[in-house]
Structure 1
């Protein structure tokens, strides 16, 4: 056979595999079984299995960036949820030295010190105008993203010098990165900023008043207009200039500015905290966050023939002392972490988390990220029933775990994640090359009216392995959590460990396995084929 023919057959085969994959996603496997299996030899059927599900309080989430390839989003703000109670979060980060090092020059005077943290943005379509002919004209605009709660309510922000040194490596095991969890306490030192705050999509410009370009600091000599090239908005906190004069400028010749290691021991970072009864909480990426010192210093230069740079009435002088505007950036680098404080001030969720019914299960399941709560799921609580299922010797066509929302809810997760709680690992269907994350599911599904309805997981391979009569695998306890991007499977790395990161504060209340009369209770659906010849 020629290479050309081999290539054709390969392409046809790949096309058929792709087509079958599309069909299997769109059509119930029960129907596929009828189409593909000779019904003279096989019969098809389905069954519902009763399971046990209950709530689990998650005391803390991992919040550091010390693991390669796993970079969590930061969380900052305060949030009051009617189902899940109160959450506040602080953002903590070391700073990195400027690329060219620290040299403020002679007679440096600070004009302004500011922390700048870009918002997360999303594209959205809005109505620009309605014409005289009643035609609607739309336009694409940028909107703030990943902000939860009441955006119109102000709360307080404080920025302090961090007093705790942040380790990149674990002192007890230097071959591994240091893990930081959201319940860790930190020492804070000098207060650098205190003020009210609420998110503002129009916060795109910073004005820096320059008062030290002449001998009269009481007047504004110039104003710098600072904005991003793409005009994107950012959070800006003005810090205490006197602190940085004493801490940075007065020690600029010290070896503490020789490298980042020495610098992070000397100045350990910023502790940015939120306080208030209610407001909003937001995810941020600090990859472009920075602290900038705007200052003026003296430089020595030569005047041109027609120049009088020092305003002494004499042109063309050499070695003239002139004041110049300067800028120095310290990016958010090194270790970044955070601290969450939760208060389950709603009696229903507090009781569900403090006293879970692990024997009979629960009527409601509370799922929330950011050191919130998860649901524990036991698919086979009855060992005798499991043995009976194995003896049936079914060929498993599809197995689904379906979980319905408990009533109307807002700001719920767009995706949940089901994993092997007992081993802290992914379920085989999630990383199987035959199935994979897209088939595995967990994405929020909507009813015919466009209302959020349920989450569905296809765990066919996992159930097939457990019910294998000849070589069965032991079932394990599963858990349901809020999905974050560190939960995604990377086929290039082949890493099935589930990290305990979770920075999205959205929550959802789901129906549990009780009462048994509820048709929307959580359940395991199995579609199977059975040989008529046995």
Structure 2
């Protein structure tokens, strides 16, 4: 299977390179071959490595609502330390002003939140089997360590709109995970004040002192034998909740105004607080899909039109967009801090869940943007460059390919292996983005290898994949060809690139940083959706040359 995947990758990459040549040929035709030199027909190819600077950026006060999915649980990163993630969410009824019928009696209340999973086949009974993509840490099911899960009613009102801005501005909530107040409660910032959700806990809704996710299919049975019908659905966090609480909170309010419209309900029932805690310092971390088929369903019986009989019905409460993730971080092993923008740092720390990122300045120190332009364009003086009659810059060198080559710190080979010999970081990806415009790089849009089925194999020409050679050296290659050509041909000023760790490069939406004091004002939200971290070699002079991050450019120029 692995050989097949590699062959497919090579074919797609070859197609991409081939199509690039076609595109170049088309460009040359448009400008009548005046782009590269004047009356030159003989060319040579070569490569050069550029001096760059890469430095650390400590992350805090990150937007934690409006995410595509949410973390829950405990993760112990071997290099950094511990992260605990909890969730606060509003819920909304599927129907307002409900009619529960005569003499309604709750049979059960079921919470369902699907896991991200993939079907892998069938078991000996013909039932479907699944693997969980939701769980972090590549370990066998029997080795997954449980965590304590408690669900409370949340009494803090989550606003939809920010009262300090114009009416159409959504309220943003930001992380506060540094433990400066305490390391047991879950905090957030609303832009002007600190919220302690543990001070806003209401009634206890559910408690499990040893929660472990399962990849088993969910079995649901309706009716009694011989008419009993059992259906199977994909794995999920599926638990029965306290009946008495939901009777008092929902069914007994049938004719009350609190169930009559969204505004009344959101003020009456302000949501749920999913609190995760460690068991003896250990646990597991899962990624939950709250956007699809996640709900609380009240199953109840009511009087039938036939005397002495009951009919069954349901009332559903859905999870809304007003959901946020909170983090408690104890990064005891690696203290995170901002780096040296001039010389670059020796080590680069990429850590998710309010951790750290790296900034790459492509033109730093003696390698200035002006030097780059003078090398590839034909200078006329006074920051002017020669153009053809169509207004295109005439180049003395044509960039064929540009690679940002990044080496992983050698210690990660030790940090990244668990007791079972599995590599935690085998499927890690590095996501590169344009920090000026807070969006993906232009090379991302040009990459034809994107797919939504297997994120690890998505956009692998531009963003690359983690590679480990025979000498146990792990590295990444980020292709920046179009990014540099944008600077060279179109006077783009996007000369700095942000690097974050990602487990799903398909997620390209941004998360804002509260009151940022430098050029990094947002990060890719995908960085928040992984608790993991990695350590890379930077560009400081103390880094060995065979490990130093470099920008390598392959070019063509006239002989």
CA shift digits 1:235-279 (9 cap, x unpaired): 123323222222222221101111233212211111111111221
Q: Given that residues 429 and 440 in structure 1 are in contact (C-alpha distance below 8 angstroms), is that contact kept between their aligned partners in structure 2?
A: no
1:477 aligns with 2:496: yes
CA shift digits 1:348-392 (9 cap, x unpaired): x21xx2253333222222222222221111121125654333322
Cα distance in structure 2, aligned partners of 1:190 and 1:226: 35
> What is the CA-CA distance between 1:442 and the residue it aligns to?
1.3
Gap regions ≥5 residues in structure 2: 1-12, 25-35, 177-187, 189-194, 377-396, 417-422, 451-457, 511-521
Structure 1 pair 336–199 and aligned structure 2 pair: CA distance change class (3 A): same
Partner secondary structure for residue 301 of structure 1: coil
1:192 aligns with 2:205: yes
Structure 1 pair 161–223 and aligned structure 2 pair: CA distance change class (3 A): farther
Cα distance in structure 1, aligned partners of 2:227 and 2:84: 35
Q: Given that residues 295 and 317 in structure 2 are in contact (C-alpha distance below 8 angstroms), is that contact kept between their aligned partners in structure 1?
A: yes
Q: How does 1:9-20 map to 2 (within 5 A)?
A: none
Matched with 1:317 is none
Q: How does 1:44-443 map to 2 (within 5 A)?
A: 44-65=45-66, 72-99=68-95, 102-124=98-120, 141-149=129-137, 152-171=144-163, 172-183=165-176, 184=188, 185=195, 186=197, 187-195=200-208, 196-202=210-216, 204-205=218-219, 229-276=231-278, 277-286=281-290, 287-297=292-302, 299=303, 301-302=305-306, 320-346=307-333, 349-350=334-335, 353-354=336-337, 356-382=339-365, 385-393=368-376, 394-407=397-410, 408=413, 409=416, 410-412=423-425, 413-432=427-446, 438=459, 441-443=462-464
CA shift digits 1:431-482 (9 cap, x unpaired): 35999994761131434569783221221232234456xx754453221013
Structure 1 pair 248–99 and aligned structure 2 pair: CA distance change class (3 A): closer
Cα distance in structure 2, aligned partners of 1:111 and 1:206: 14
Cα distance in structure 1, aligned partners of 2:228 and 2:237: 16
Partner secondary structure for residue 263 of structure 1: helix
Cα distance in structure 1, aligned partners of 2:474 and 2:256: 62
Structure 1 pair 127–295 and aligned structure 2 pair: CA distance change class (3 A): closer
> What is the CA-CA distance between 1:223 and the residue it aligns to?
13
CA shift digits 1:390-432 (9 cap, x unpaired): 3223322221101122232332253221112244233333335
Partner secondary structure for residue 174 of structure 1: coil
Matched with 1:505 is 531
Cα distance in structure 1, aligned partners of 2:103 and 2:127: 50
Cα distance in structure 1, aligned partners of 2:228 and 2:532: 37
Cα distance in structure 2, aligned partners of 1:223 and 1:264: 43
Structure 1 pair 438–115 and aligned structure 2 pair: CA distance change class (3 A): closer
Cα distance in structure 1, aligned partners of 2:462 and 2:63: 24
Q: Given that residues 79 and 281 in structure 1 are in contact (C-alpha distance below 8 angstroms), is that contact kept between their aligned partners in structure 2?
A: yes
Matched with 1:4 is none
Cα distance in structure 2, aligned partners of 1:499 and 1:355: 18
Structure 1 pair 300–63 and aligned structure 2 pair: CA distance change class (3 A): same
Partner secondary structure for residue 168 of structure 2: strand
> What is the CA-CA distance between 1:325 and the residue it aligns to?
4.2
CA shift digits 1:5-26 (9 cap, x unpaired): xxxxxxxxxxxxx986343789
CA shift digits 1:123-168 (9 cap, x unpaired): 3369989xxxxxxxx9983112220147621211010111122233
Cα distance in structure 2, aligned partners of 1:223 and 1:337: 45
Cα distance in structure 1, aligned partners of 2:373 and 2:69: 44
Q: Given that residues 290 and 332 in structure 1 are in contact (C-alpha distance below 8 angstroms), is that contact kept between their aligned partners in structure 2?
A: yes
Cα distance in structure 1, aligned partners of 2:298 and 2:428: 40
Q: How does 1:517-532 map to 2 (within 5 A)?
A: 517-532=544-559
Gap regions ≥5 residues in structure 1: 1-17, 30-35, 66-70, 130-137, 211-220, 303-319, 490-496
Structure-2-length-normalised TM-score: 0.71
> What is the CA-CA distance between 1:79 and the residue it aligns to?
0.8
Q: Given that residues 439 and 458 in structure 1 are in contact (C-alpha distance below 8 angstroms), is that contact kept between their aligned partners in structure 2?
A: no
CA shift digits 1:263-301 (9 cap, x unpaired): 12211111111111221111111221111223343x253
Cα distance in structure 1, aligned partners of 2:270 and 2:309: 34
Cα distance in structure 1, aligned partners of 2:226 and 2:539: 64
Cα distance in structure 2, aligned partners of 1:449 and 1:86: 32
Which of 16, 21, 25 is matched with 2:16 structurally?
Answer: 21
Cα distance in structure 1, aligned partners of 2:229 and 2:530: 31
